[in-house]
Amino acid sequence: MIQVDLTGKNAVVTGATRGIGLGVAKALAKAGAAVACIGTNQEKLTASVEGIVADGGNAKAYICNVADSAAVAETAKTILADFGKIDILVNNAGITRDMLMRRITDEQWNDVINVNLSGTFYVTRAFVESMRKSKWGRIINIASISGLIGNKGQANYSASKAGVIGFTRTISKELANRNITANAICPGFIDTDMTAVLDPIYIQGLKDHIPMGRIGVPEDIANAVLFFASPDSSFVTGQILTVDGGMIY
C-alpha cells in the first residue's frame, strides 16, 4: 500500500460493507483519515466498521440507500454533525442486474441507474458544500471499464458507469476553482465476494485476457484512491484512471 498521510481529514465511503468499498475505507483509515462508512446492510456494515476500529482506525457506520435522495440528505446532515466537515468523498456504491438488453425490465434498468448514477449525484451534492466552504476537497468516483468499452449483458450497468465518467468530468470543471478535484477510477476484474461465485473456468478465461496474468484485488483500487485523495494529486482533476492489469489496451 502506498504511503499517504491523511491525518486530520474526514472521508465518506459509500458501499463500504465489502469488496472495493471496504478495502478503500480500510486504506483511508490506515492513512489517518476519519471515515464515515455508508451501506445498506446493518450487520455487514457494523462488522466492517468494527474491524477498522479494531485495527486502530477511526470509523463510524451509517445506514443509507444512496438511491433515495431524501435519505442521502438526512444521512449527510448526520455525518456533517458528527464529523464537522468532509474532505474526501468516495462514491463506490453500485449494483448489477445483468441481462441482455432486450430482456432488461424497467425495474432492472432503473435499479441500476438509480444506485450507480443517481446515487453518485445525490451523495456528491450532499457533501460538496462542505468542501466548497473549506476550499479543499477530493471526490473520487468508482466507475468501471464497462463504462468505457461496454460489456455484453450489462447495458444498464455500462450506461450507469459511463454516466459516472461524464459526471466526474463535468464537476471537475465546476469545482476546480474551489481547490476541489474530481477523478474517477475504472476497475477491471476485481476479486471480491461478488465475483467469487463465478465459474473457475470463466475466471481463468478472464485471466488469460489480462496481460498481467492475474485478477485485481481491492487493495489495487484502494491504492489508486489514496493517490487521488492525497495532497500529491492537487493538480490532477477530471481524469479517468483504468486499473485493470492492461485488460482493455
**Catalytic residue ranges:** 157
Give the number of other CB atoms < 10 A from CB of residue 180: 22
**Distance between CA atoms of residues 15 and 157, nearest Å:** 16
In the three-class reduction of DSSP (H, G, I as helix; E, B as strand; rest coil), residue 231 is classed as: helix
DSSP 217: -
**Distance between CA atoms of residues 145 and 52, nearest Å:** 29
Cα R_g (the chain), whole angstroms: 17
Edge-to-edge order in the sheet of strand 10-14 = 58-63, 34-39, 10-14, 88-91, 137-142, 180-187, 240-243
**Burial class of residue 173 (count of CB atoms within 10 Å of its CB; 0-12, 13-18, 19+):** exposed
In the three-class reduction of DSSP (H, G, I as helix; E, B as strand; rest coil), residue 181 is classed as: strand
CB 12 within 8 A of CB 88: yes
One-letter amino acid at 37 equals: C
On the CB side of 9, CA atoms within 13 Å amount to: 24
DSSP 102: G
